[in-house]
C-alpha cells in the first residue's frame, strides 16, 4: 500500500509477490511526472534540459553500480543481491520513462505548435511528409529491437567472453536502446501515417486485452512457480518446452484475469462511479458541465490539431483555455461524444 516494496523489505525471501516490485516503480515515476510536465509546459527549455539531466544521471549511477559490483547480464552468473541492488530500483529504470516524456512532448508540439516558431514541429512535419524518413523509422526501429533481443542470447550463453566494462555498458543502455527502437517504429504512426498499423494498434479488440493485461501480470508467476515446484523431476531447458509452457501459462493467466475483472474489478469500479457521482443529483449537475462536440474518427485523429470553442455568434475565441483536444473515436464521424470542459 505504501509502494516502497522495491526498497523495503531488503530480502526477497521476505517479500510477498516479489514480482510486484514494478508497481512501486510505476507509482514513483507517476509522482514525479506532474513536476516534469509542469516544467516543460511553463519553461520548455529548462524542463527538457532537466529531464535530460535526470536521464544522464540515471546512466551514470547505473554504470557506477554495475561496474563496482561486477554484475553480469547472464542468468548463469546471477547473484542473489542482483535484484535488491540493481533490478528493482527506480533510478535504474527511469531512462525509458523519460524517453516516453520526450515522445509525448514531441507529439504535443506537433499538434499545437506553429511550424514557423517550432523546430520540433518542422521536424515532425518532415518525417510525416517524407516516405523515405518514415521507412527509416520503421525499419531502423525494428532492426534495433531485433538486434537487442537476439544479442542477449549470446551474452547470456557465454558470460566469460565479456569484460566487466562491457557488461556495465551493456546493462546500462540495453533498455534505453530497446525503447528508442520502439519509439522510432511507432513515431510515424503517431504522426498520422501507417494506416494499416494504426488501425491494428487502435482497433477495438485491443481494449479488452489492455484491461486484462494487469491481472495477467499479477497472476502469471503463480502458475509458473506452481508448475515448477510440482515437477517430479528436472526437465531439459529447450525451446519446444518453453513455447508450449508459455501458451499454457498465458491461457490460464488470461482466464484468471478475465474472472477477476468481471467479478471484482468491474463491480468495484461501478460502485466507485456511483458513490463519486453522488446519486441522481450529482449526475444531473455533472451533465450540466458537458457539451457536445463532433466525434473524430480514430484514423484522422492523430493528424488533427485543437478544435476552437466558438462563441454564441459562431466566432472562435482567442484564449488558450477555450481550446480542447478533438475527440478520438473509432466509430465514425456522425455521432457525438460528451467532454467535460473546465470553466
pTM over 0.85, yes/no: no
Among 256, 279, 302, which residue terminates a domain?
Answer: 279
Q: Are residues 206 and 300 in the same domain?
A: no
Q: Are residues 81 and 141 in the same domain?
A: yes
Confidence tier at 332 by pLDDT (50, 70, 90): very low
Q: Are residues 62 and 159 in the same domain?
A: yes
Among 137, 172, 199, which residue terminates a domain?
Answer: 199
pLDDT digits (tens, 9 = 90+) for 44-103: 999 999 999 999 999 999 999 999 988 888 888 888 788 888 888 898 899 999 999 999
Q: Are residues 160 and 87 in the same domain?
A: yes
Query: CB-based burial of residue 307 (10 Å sphere; 0-12 exposed, 13-18 middle, 19+ buried)?
Result: middle
Sign of the Cα pseudo-torsion (228, 232, 237, 239, in order)? negative
Nearest CA among 204, 212, 211 for reference residue 255: 212
In a domain, 7, yes or no: no
Q: Are residues 100 and 30 in the same domain?
A: yes
Number of domains in the chain: 3
Q: Are residues 21 and 168 in the same domain?
A: yes
Pair 162, 155: CB distance under 8 Å: yes
In a domain, 148, yes or no: yes
pLDDT digits (tens, 9 = 90+) for 199-257: 888 888 888 888 898 889 989 989 988 888 888 887 777 888 888 888 999 999 999 99
Among 171, 199, 227, which residue terminates a domain?
Answer: 199
Q: Are residues 191 and 266 in the same domain?
A: no
Q: Are residues 76 and 171 in the same domain?
A: yes
- Residues spanned by the domain of 252: 202-279
Maximal C-alpha separation, the chain: 79
In a domain, 324, yes or no: yes
Q: Are residues 230 and 138 in the same domain?
A: no
* Omega of the bond leading into 221 within 30 degrees of 0 (cis): no
> Per-residue pLDDT for 134 more than 90?
yes
Q: Are residues 149 and 56 in the same domain?
A: yes
Q: Are residues 194 and 216 in the same domain?
A: no
Nearest CA among 36, 34, 48 for reference residue 120: 48
Q: What is the pLDDT of residue 274?
A: 85
Q: Are residues 152 and 266 in the same domain?
A: no
Amino acid at each position: 500500500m505504501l509502494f516502497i516494496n522495491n526498497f523495503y523489505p531488503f530480502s526477497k525471501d521476505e517479500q510477498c509477490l516479489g514480482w510486484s516490485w514494478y508497481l512501486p516503480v510505476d507509482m514513483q515515476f507517476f509522482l514525479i511526472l506532474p513536476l516534469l510536465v509542469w516544467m516543460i509546459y511553463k519553461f520548455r527549455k529548462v524542463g527538457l534540459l532537466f529531464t535530460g539531466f535526470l536521464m544522464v544521471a540515471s546512466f551514470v549511477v547505473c554504470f557506477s553500480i554495475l561496474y563496482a559490483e561486477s554484475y553480469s547480464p547472464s542468468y548463469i552468473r546471477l547473484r542473489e543481491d542482483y535484484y535488491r541492488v540493481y533490478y528493482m530500483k527506480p533510478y535504474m529504470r527511469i531512462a525509458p520513462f523519460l524517453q516516453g516524456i520526450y515522445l509525448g512532448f514531441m507529439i504535443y508540439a506537433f499538434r499545437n505548435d506553429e511550424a514557423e516558431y517550432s523546430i520540433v514541429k518542422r521536424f515532425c512535419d518532415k518525417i510525416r511528409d517524407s516516405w523515405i524518413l518514415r521507412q527509416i523509422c520503421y525499419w531502423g526501429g525494428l532492426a534495433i529491437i531485433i538486434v537487442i533481443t537476439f544479442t542477449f542470447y549470446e551474452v547470456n550463453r557465454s558470460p566469460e567472453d565479456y569484460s566487466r566494462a562491457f557488461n556495465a555498458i551493456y546493462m546500462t543502455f540495453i533498455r534505453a536502446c530497446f525503447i528508442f527502437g520502439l519509439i522510432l517504429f511507432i513515431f510515424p504512426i503517431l504522426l498520422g501515417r501507417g494506416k494499416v498499423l494504426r488501425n491494428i494498434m487502435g482497433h477495438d479488440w485491443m481494449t479488452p486485452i489492455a484491461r486484462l493485461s494487469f491481472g495477467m501480470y499479477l497472476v502469471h508467476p503463480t502458475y509458473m512457480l506452481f508448475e515448477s515446484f510440482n515437477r517430479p523431476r528436472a526437465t531439459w531447458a529447450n525451446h519446444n518446452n518453453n513455447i508450449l509452457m508459455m501458451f499454457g501459462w498465458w491461457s490460464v493467466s488470461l482466464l484468471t484475469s478475465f474472472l477477476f475483472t468481471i467479478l471484482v474489478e468491474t463491480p468495484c469500479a461501478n460502485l466507485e462511479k456511483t458513490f463519486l457521482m453522488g446519486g441522481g443529483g450529482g449526475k444531473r449537475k455533472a451533465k450540466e458541465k458537458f457539451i457536445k462536440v463532433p466525434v473524430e474518427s480514430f484514423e484522422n485523429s492523430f493528424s488533427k490539431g485543437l478544435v476552437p470553442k466558438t462563441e454564441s455568434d459562431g466566432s472562435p475565441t482567442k484564449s488558450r483555455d477555450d481550446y480542447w483536444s478533438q475527440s478520438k473515436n473509432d466509430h465514425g464521424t456522425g455521432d457525438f461524444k460528451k467532454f467535460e470542459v473546465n470553466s
